Amino acid sequence: MTRCFDCGAERISDQCPACGLTSAAAELVFRRRLVNRTAVFLVGSLAFPYVSQIYPPLDLDLMLVFFGLLFFVALTLAIILDRRARNRQELEVLKRIYSGFIPLPWMLAALLFLNGRLDNPKNIVYHPTTVENRFYQRGLLRVSRRLLVDGWRAGQKIERLPVDADDFDRFQDGDAVLAGVEPGAIGIPWYYGIYRR
Ligand SMILES: [Zn+2]
C-alpha cells in the first residue's frame, strides 16, 4: 500500500484514514495540484529572464545555463510525478523534492531584482576595455546579443556583455569602450551600459 497522494498518510485500505479520500480521488487532487504548481514554476521561469534584462548580471550566460538546467530537471520531475500518480506508485520523496523547485525561479528573479534595484547609481564603475568580438543568437523566446570585451576581473579573460540591439550595431571589433558596471546590492555585479572612449 502506498501513502495517500493527497495528505501523505499511510493507507491500509483504499480510503485514506486521515483525509478520507479514495486512492482515485487522491490521484485526481494530486494531479490537479501538480498542474497548478507547475504553472507557478513556469510563470516564475518567465520572471527570471525578464528581470535579467533589466538588471543583467555580468555572469548572465553562466546563470542562464544554470537556470536552463533547473528548468529541465523540474519539468522532468513533473512528468515523472504525473506518470507515477497515474500508475499509483509511491510519490512522497519526489513530491517533496519537486516542491523545493517551485519557488526557485521566483527566488532567483527576486534576488536579481533586489540586487539591481537597491544598488546606488553612484557605485557605477567604468572599466576601459576593448571590443574583441560580437555574438548573436536567436533563441526560442528571445535574441541574445553579446559584446565580448577584454575582461578586468581576476581570472576572467573575457566579459560577455548583454547589450541591446542599438549597442550591438553601434560597436565593431577593436572599438575602445568603457563598460559601466554596478557592484550589486547583494554582491552580484551587473552590467549598466557601454560607452565609446
Ligand atoms: Zn489522505
Q: Are residues 109 and 139 in the same domain?
A: no
Q: Are residues 141 and 55 in the same domain?
A: no
Q: Are residues 39 and 111 in the same domain?
A: yes
Q: Give distance in angstroms: CA of 70 to centre of ligand 1.
A: 30
- Joined together, the cell numbers standing for residue 189 give 555585479
Q: Give distance in angstroms: CA of 8 to centre of ligand 1.
A: 6
Q: Are residues 60 and 92 in the same domain?
A: yes
Among 89, 117, 145, the domain boundary falls at 117
Q: How many domains does the chain divide into?
A: 2
Least confident of 20-24, 35-39, 139-143, 169-173: 139-143
Among 117, 135, 160, the domain boundary falls at 117
**Mean pLDDT of the 44-50 span:** 91
pLDDT of 66 over the 90 cut = yes
Cα 146 to chain centroid distance, Å, stands at 19
Q: Give distance in angstroms: CA of 29 to centre of ligand 1.
A: 10
> Which of 143, 74, 138, 137 minimizes the C-alpha distance to 105?
74
For residue 140, the model assigns a pLDDT of 75
Residue 17 maps to a domain:
no
**Mean pLDDT of the 21-50 span:** 95
Among 86, 117, 148, the domain boundary falls at 117
Q: Is the pTM of the predicted complex or chain greater than 0.75?
A: yes
Residue 138's domain comprises 121-196
Q: Give distance in angstroms: CA of 90 to centre of ligand 1.
A: 13
Q: Give distance in angstroms: CA of 66 to centre of ligand 1.
A: 36
Cα–Cα distance between 8 and 24 in angstroms, integer? Answer: 14
For residue 1, the model assigns a pLDDT of 59
Q: Give distance in angstroms: CA of 91 to centre of ligand 1.
A: 13
Q: Give distance in angstroms: CA of 194 to centre of ligand 1.
A: 58
Q: Are residues 85 and 138 in the same domain?
A: no
